[in-house]
Structure 1
Amino acid sequence: MNAEALIAAARARGLRLASAESCTGGLVAAAVTEAPGASAVFDMGVVTYSNEMKTALLGVLPDTLKAHGAVSEEVAAEMAAGARARSGADIAVSVTGIAGPGGSEHKPEGRVCFGLAQAGDVTVETVEFGALGRTAVRRAARDHALALLARAVEAAQP
């Protein structure tokens, strides 16, 4: 589903959307808002690259960051929940990961964690895109986040 179809589907169901991004640096919000009519459904896109801003703007708990690190499903869940709560959106997606170059044995380049918050429910998943290079990982993460939003919108009752 492209951004125009996502916007049309969200509009038909009366849904508002939001995003919270780290490694994608706003690519998800840019993709959605590039399509005409985005303002009818897109409430907020926030980029929180630093841990301090994840805490200040999205309410990610410092203890969660300390225990799990920024690239974790736990942080992705709190980012998505925070974006949804702060924006008033019906569905919020979050992205946090290691685009590269680099990484570690425990958190390799290309690992991206996603969160999806809707109606009191937050789901998370991790995708290992691999060491595709920074640009390719960021684009793949953007596309995956948009697909998560699209599936959530399609599953919502009109």
Structure 2
Amino acid sequence: MAGAKDVADEISELVRERGLSVATAESLTGGKISCQLGVAECSAEWFAGSVVAYLSRVKYDVLKVPEGPVVTEECAAAMAEGVAGLLGADLAVAVTGVGGPDEEEGQPAGTVWFAVRAESGTTTELRRFEGDPAEIVDKTTLHALHLLLDHLKRS
């Protein structure tokens, strides 16, 4: 994925400088964010791991997301907080949304909620991406990496 490796390597540099660990909770990306982090420089030193929670019941049971719709801000935040607690990570990113081609929960394809959980709190963001399912997943993956990097640069 063009650009993702560079972003992941920059994340690696910053988290190693600060002694932080990172985790991911993924739904529509199916593990692509964790794959990018896992091949980043020295990832064994800082990447705690990931939970790929594609089924709603996995989000509820493993990540402690409140039962109900999962293409929501509340779900993304709970996923990020849940994986950070589960894996003991300092920083976590989570994504939940609709990859397409059809709508889900009344949300159109390309609707994605992101959350970044850090010691300072959890922030969320809604994005709507255009494209086929593979393009939406790639755009979501890259944006999640950029959110992590942006957080690290601001803190």
Residue identity in the other structure for 2:125: E
CA drift at 1:105: 8.8
When normalised by structure 2's length, the TM-score is 0.92
Matched, 1:3 2:8: yes
Q: Corresponding residue for 1:20?
A: 25
CA drift at 1:112: 0.5
Q: Assess if the C-alpha contact under 8 Å between 2:21 and 2:47 holds in 1.
A: yes
Q: Corresponding residue for 2:134?
A: 135
Q: Corresponding residue for 2:3?
A: none
Q: Corresponding residue for 2:77?
A: 77
Q: Corresponding residue for 1:95?
A: 95
Provide structure 1 residue ranges, at least 5 long, that are not aligned to the other structure.
Answer: none
**Paired positions, count:** 150
Shift >3 Å, 4+ stretches: none
* Percentage of identical aligned residues: 34
Residue identity in the other structure for 2:137: R
Q: In structure 2, what is the Cα distance between the partners aligned to 1:104 and 1:4?
A: 34
Residue identity in the other structure for 2:92: A
CA drift at 1:56: 1.6
Q: Corresponding residue for 1:32?
A: 37
Q: Assess if the C-alpha contact under 8 Å between 2:11 and 2:152 holds in 1.
A: yes
Residue identity in the other structure for 2:127: V
CA distance 1:104–1:75, shift in 2 (3 Å): closer
CA drift at 1:34: 1.3
CA drift at 1:99: 0.6
The DSSP-based 3-state class of the residue aligned with 1:74 is helix
The DSSP-based 3-state class of the residue aligned with 2:89 is coil
Deviations 1:78-112 (CA, angstroms, capped at 9, x unpaired) = 00010111111111000001011111694000000
Q: Assess if the C-alpha contact under 8 Å between 2:99 and 2:109 holds in 1.
A: yes
The DSSP-based 3-state class of the residue aligned with 2:34 is helix
Q: Corresponding residue for 1:115?
A: 115
